[in-house]
């Protein structure tokens, strides 16, 4: 079983405008709503790939009820803790000539409520996978992920961490199966500019030395680079289409990589399906759907064959 953890889920309210001008009333041309949160996004794309998962996390208030209802409609098994106070956040994504986002803080999570989440992780068994994705709410300590992983110590669990800066590096002692920084996140971790592919490879390799088994670096328009647990490098490009959505592409890549490896045991296949899922989301108004993933995977295979 795959378990995903979303500590601060949201309803993402996407507004599309022809143009956006500060200081005046702007009229939208369309609006959309999506259930958001990086772990939830991973569960959603896994579902499109025919793989079941259980989503852990916290919800609160009327927006929390909407999140649970939405996950149920998506066919995702949600085992969330309902908080006593507050409301789950609504994030506003503005799509105009430029993209802007307003991400809210979310409800307070008490120590008692976090302890309930730790207890839920006791159901995770040898051979299962846990995905820790996204930032930690301000109401929790920055050691929240470390506390979850410490609880799992001694079990043969495949760990995936998609986080930034110290939140990521503190997890490396637990030998995660997969981490997925991008170029900017590598720069932030090592406090240096990624001016060449050698810089990227050197930093990704250093993360392996620090404990990560596999490091995927998403390179935007340049595709993705994987350094696997044997130190072997894998590269893939991307399909060239108009990008209509950047939200969730990285989460989609994580889902595709997990699914690809579970099905094939091949890191090349895992990277290929991960890239296909990331591309499919980037070229869709919301998260990737099965049909688009299949289309992207076929095009990537053609590209690899041509090379």
* Residues catalogued as catalytic: 251
Show the beta-strand stretches assigned E in 75-223: 77-82, 89-95, 99-102, 129-133, 158-162, 178-179, 214-218
* Rounded Cα–Cα distance for residues 184 and 218 (Å): 10
For the chain, helix, strand, coil in percent to 5 are 40, 20, 35
> DSSP H helical segments within the chain, as ranges?
38-48, 61-73, 111-120, 144-151, 165-169, 183-190, 197-209, 249-264, 267-282, 290-306
**What's the burial of 39, exposed, middle or buried (CB within 10 Å: 0-12/13-18/19+)?**
buried
| Residue in the block written with tokens 């009229």 | 27
- In this structure, the chain runs to a length of 307
Evaluate the CA torsion angle 132, 133, 136, 142 in order and state its sign: positive
* Rounded Cα–Cα distance for residues 125 and 284 (Å): 35
Q: Which residues contact 279 (CB under 8 A, 6 or more apart)?
A: 238, 239, 241, 249, 296, 300
Token output for 84: 């006593």
* Rounded Cα–Cα distance for residues 135 and 89 (Å): 14
Parallel, antiparallel or unpaired: strands 129-133 and 2-6: parallel
CB 273 within 8 A of CB 257: yes
Q: Which residues pair with 217 in a beta bridge?
A: 225
* Rounded Cα–Cα distance for residues 232 and 227 (Å): 6
């Amino acid at each position: 079983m795959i378990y995903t953890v979303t500590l601060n889920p949201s309803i993402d309210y996407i507004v599309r405008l022809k143009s956006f001008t500060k200081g005046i009333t702007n009229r939208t041309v369309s609006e959309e709503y999506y259930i958001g949160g990086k772990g939830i996004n991973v569960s959603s794309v896994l579902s499109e790939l025919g793989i079941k998962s259980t989503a852990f996390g916290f919800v609160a208030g009327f927006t929390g009820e909407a999140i649970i209802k939405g996950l149920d409609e998506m066919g995702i098994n949600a085992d969330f803790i309902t908080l006593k106070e507050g409301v789950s956040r609504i994030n506003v994504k503005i799509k105009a000539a430029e993209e802007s986002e307003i991400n809210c803080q979310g409800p307070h999570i008490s120590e008692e409520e976090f302890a309930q989440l730790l207890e839920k992780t006791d159901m995770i068994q040898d051979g299962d996978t846990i995905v820790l994705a996204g930032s930690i709410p301000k109401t929790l300590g920055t050691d929240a992920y470390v506390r979850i992983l410490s609880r799992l110590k001694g079990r043969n669990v495949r760990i995936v961490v998609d986080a930034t800066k110290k939140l990521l590096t503190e997890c490396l002692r637990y030998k995660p199966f997969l981490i997925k920084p991008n170029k900017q996140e590598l720069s932030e971790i090592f406090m240096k500019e990624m001016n060449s592919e050698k810089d990227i490879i050197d930093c990704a390799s250093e993360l392996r030395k620090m404990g990560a088994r596999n490091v995927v670096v998403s390179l935007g328009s340049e595709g993705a680079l994987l350094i696997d647990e044997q130190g072997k490098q894998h590269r893939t490009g991307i399909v060239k289409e108009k990008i209509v959505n950047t939200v969730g592409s990285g989460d989609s890549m994580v889902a595709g990589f997990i699914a690809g490896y579970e099905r094939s045991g091949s890191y090349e296949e895992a990277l290929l399906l991960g890239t296909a899922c990331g591309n499919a989301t980037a070229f869709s108004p919301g998260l990737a759907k099965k049909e688009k993933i299949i289309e992207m995977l076929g095009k990537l295979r053609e590209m690899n064959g041509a090379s």
